[in-house]
Structures are given as C-alpha cells and as structure tokens.
Amino acid sequence: MKTKYIIAIALLCLLIAGSTGASARTITVGHTADADYWTIQEAVDAAAIYGDTIQVMVGTYNENVVISKSLILRGDDKTRTIIDGGGSGIVVNVTANSVTIRGFTIQNGGTGVEILSRNNAVTDNIIKDIRGTNCGSDRCTGGSAYGVYLLSSTGTIISGNTISGVSGGTADYRGTGGSAYGIYLSSSTGTLSGNTISGVSGGGTSCCGTGGSAYGISLQSSTVTTISSNTISSISGPGTDRNIYLHSSSSNTITNNTLSASDYGFYLTSASTRNIIYHNNIMNGTHNGYDASGSNGWDNGQTSGGNYWSDYSGVDSNGDGVGDTPYDISGGVSAQDNYPFMERDGWTMDINITPPATDSDGDGIADSDDLCPGFDDTYDFNGNGIPDCVECGGSTNPPPVTINLHEGWNLIGWTAEDTDDMGSALSGLDWVGIGTYENGIWKSYVPGYGGSLSSIQLGHGYFINMSNSGTLTMG
C-alpha cells in the first residue's frame, strides 16, 4: 500500500512539473484556412489555464465570449476586429484573474465588457452600441447598459478605450427608463486612464414615466481607484446625468480629466469622503460640481493648485494663473477649490511670477528703473554689460540674432522690429505655449486652443514652452 502512495505522489509531481514547465502558446483565430480556430470561444476553451495568447485576425465574430482562463486576447486591428454580441447579453465576460483584452471593437450587447475578477487589463478597444433591454409592460423598468462593468474586482486597469453609444432601455407607459454607464465600478478598485467616453444616455419612456439616468464614470462603494486623463462628454438623461459620479466611494484620486456637456461634471454623495480631485477641466455643465459630504479635497495645495471651472467668476490680480478667491462647490457643505485656475490646463504652465507694480512696457523692469521705456533693457547682444537699447540710442533694435531654446520653458526678449503673430514668429519650432505680462496682466496662447495673447511685439519679454529644443531667429 505504501508503494502505491509513493507512485501516486511521484506521478502528481511529474504532472505539476510538466504543466509549469510548458511554454505559453499563441493560438490564432480567424476565418481563414490557416487559423487554429474559427471562433474566439473555441480558442479560449482550448487554451491553457494560464499564460496563452489568443491572436484574433481581422473579421466579425458574432458571439458572446466567456473568458475563464488567465490569458491575453488580442485583436489584429481594433477598427476591423469586431466582437458582436448580437444585440443582447454580455459581449465579453471575464471571470478569470490576469486577463488582458486589447485591440477590438466590442459592440451590440447589453454590457460591453464585464469583469468579476482581479488584476485584469482592458486597453485600446472601441466599445460601442451597447443598449439596455426595452420593456413593454405598464410600470416596467428598462434594462441598464454598461460599456465596462467591474464587480468586486481589484487591480484592474481600464485604459485607452473609446466608449460611445451606451443607452439605457426604454420603458412603456408609467415606467422607468434604464440607466446607462460608460464605466461602472461596484465594490472595486483599479485604474481608469486615458479613456474617451461620449454619447451615454438614459432610456426614455413612452408616457408619464421617469427617464433613465446616465453616467460617464460611476463608482459605487469603490475605493483607492485612480481616475486620470479621461475625456468625458455628452452624458445625457432624460433623468439625471453626471460625468463622474461617486456614491459611497472614498479615498480615490481624480486628476487631469476633461469633463463637458452634462448636468453635473462631478457629483459626490454624502458618504463619499477623502477623495482628492485636482487638475481637471470642468466645462459647460449646468452644475460643474456637487459635494454633499464636504470631506473631499478639491485642490492639491497652493503649489500644485486646483481645477479649471468654466463658470468661475473670480479674478487673477497678480497674474499667476490662479484665481484670487476660492471656487464654491454646491452641495450645502461649504466645499471649495481654494486655488482654481483661470484657464483650461492652467497647471501645465509652471510659472508663478508676480510682475512689478508699474511696468508700462512689460519687460519685467519697473518704470522707475527702466533705462529705455518701450524696449527690453535686459538684452545685451555683445555681452559688454550695456543694454542694447542704450547702445543703439533707445530707438533701434539690436541686429538679428539667434537663440538656442531648450525643451521646457525659456525666457527671451523679442528684438525683431515687426509685430508678428505667434505662428509666423515661431515658425519651424516645436512649441506648446507662450506667455507674457502686459500692463501687469498675464496673457498666454496655446496652439489649438488660443488664448488672450494675440501677437509678439518689439521690446517685450516672453516665456516660450518648447516640446523639443530648437533655434529661434529674430531680425
């Protein structure tokens, strides 16, 4: 008997050694003769418990996929490798830990991707045309729709996805329309970054009912989640609609998101506390922010600053890019952003300089000390210690010069005679922003967004933010 036990244990050890020593495979799926499998589900079923990669060729795969093994599911081209759920159910359902899904269009279901496990990644996908189930009886409720749904999941990353066309199911007479969610977390933690979410709408009713609600990102009883660099727009009812909604969710960090075109940009319920929210652009909402607890941080201190609020009405008297008075957040608990930015993405311009009280020509030198009013006294082309405006009689500029600009912020004096627009003056350079003080007021311009600075003028000093080094020629 003892000998049988020893043999059985030895066989078990050999099996374990064989399974752990086997190298991960790449399994192909496609509607071609050389593919390993015709459907994605067949490939998942054939994969090892851990570590295989399933490479899916371009094509449309009409199936609802359940991933119960730790693997990588990767599409050849996210715009042409399509998983179509046939109009209902969960298109991709992840029940195993450590699953990566990348490079697909996931469409036409009630939920795009559902995750019930840990340490997964859903990256660089298109998730669209997700619809809740319609109901046709009296006082019924339409089905909810989810672009991405996480339940009791930890350590999952949702990044770089485009989520659109998510709509709750409609309801009949006196019913309630279904809710719609771009990304929904329930009792979960994770990272949500770099996603673009738009066109999320609650379900309607035929008559006399209640419209469904819509949410770009919604956290329910979820903690320690990072929400960063997402763009959320066009979140619409007909019920309530919020770009980012936190319900009983605490200790989350929310930064560098751009929120627009909804009823509320942020909405935090009374049980949502200790969330840190800064460096976000909140624009064109009926209500840009709402905090019912008053126990959240809406800025990151004086050095780092707060958020940009499109409806902030304060002033910036010292030109440092931050408003002089706090931004009041609705909710009745005196929540405030103490350091609101005056311009969108204002935190990217790392300048905190207070100009002299009286500086008529904006060269950073007070009028009382200015040798040549109207010219940049700091410029000394030949390095002899005498400002060029003095050497040139205070009426002419120094000869044409070149300046080597390094990556990041550079401070220059403009010596060219002509007044130029920024595009012409900085032609051929890789620059992302320019700013100056004019009559004690900070003015700036960002390519693609515009700004308060319209031209570059003789005798003025300018801060130029370079994305790459380059050489500027003036004259």
CATH number, residue 332: 2.160.20
The reply to whether 12 falls in a domain is no
Interstrand relation of 70-75 and 258-260 (parallel, antiparallel or unpaired): unpaired
Spatial separation of the C-alpha atoms in residues 168 and 150, rounded to whole Å? 18
Q: What pLDDT, on the 0 to 100 scale, is given for residue 441?
A: 72
The reply to whether 178 falls in a domain is yes
Same-domain status, 337 and 431? no
Same-domain status, 257 and 396? no
- Residues 6 or more apart from 385 whose CB is under 8 A from it? none
Same-domain status, 333 and 416? no
Half-sphere exposure of 89 (CA within 13 A, CB side): 12
The reply to whether 296 falls in a domain is yes
- Give the mean pLDDT per block of 10 residues along the chain (475 residues): 47 44 86 97 97 97 98 98 97 98 98 98 98 90 96 97 97 92 98 98 91 97 98 93 97 97 93 98 89 97 96 94 96 96 90 53 66 64 63 53 81 72 80 79 76 78 84 78
What is the tally of structural domains in the chain?
2
The reply to whether 7 falls in a domain is no
Which residue is listed with tokens 């935190």? 347
Q: What is the DSSP letter of 14?
A: H
The residue out of 348, 379, 408 marking a domain boundary is 348
The residue out of 303, 318, 348 marking a domain boundary is 348
Same-domain status, 375 and 342? no
The reply to whether 19 falls in a domain is no
Neighbours of 448 (CB within 10 A): 5
What's this model's pTM, rounded to 2 decimal places?
Answer: 0.71
Q: What pLDDT, on the 0 to 100 scale, is given for residue 341?
A: 97
**220 neighbors 181 (Cβ within 8 angstroms):** no
Q: What pLDDT, on the 0 to 100 scale, is given for residue 7?
A: 46
Same-domain status, 379 and 431? yes
For residue 165, the enclosing domain spans 25-348
Interstrand relation of 441-446 and 450-451 (parallel, antiparallel or unpaired): antiparallel
Same-domain status, 325 and 443? no
- Residues 6 or more apart from 424 whose CB is under 8 A from it? none
Q: What is the DSSP letter of 369?
A: G
Same-domain status, 298 and 396? no
Q: What pLDDT, on the 0 to 100 scale, is given for residue 5?
A: 46
The reply to whether 170 falls in a domain is yes
End-to-end CA distance of the chain: 99
The reply to whether 16 falls in a domain is no
Same-domain status, 336 and 439? no
In DSSP terms, 465 is beta-bridged to: 409, 433
Same-domain status, 261 and 371? no
**167 neighbors 177 (Cβ within 8 angstroms):** no
The reply to whether 11 falls in a domain is no
Residue 362 region by backbone torsions, left for phi larger than 0, else alpha for psi between -120 and 50, else beta: left
Q: What are phi and psi of 21, to 5 degrees?
A: -85, -15
Q: What stretch of H or E contains 46? A: helix 40-46
Q: What pLDDT, on the 0 to 100 scale, is given for residue 443?
A: 79
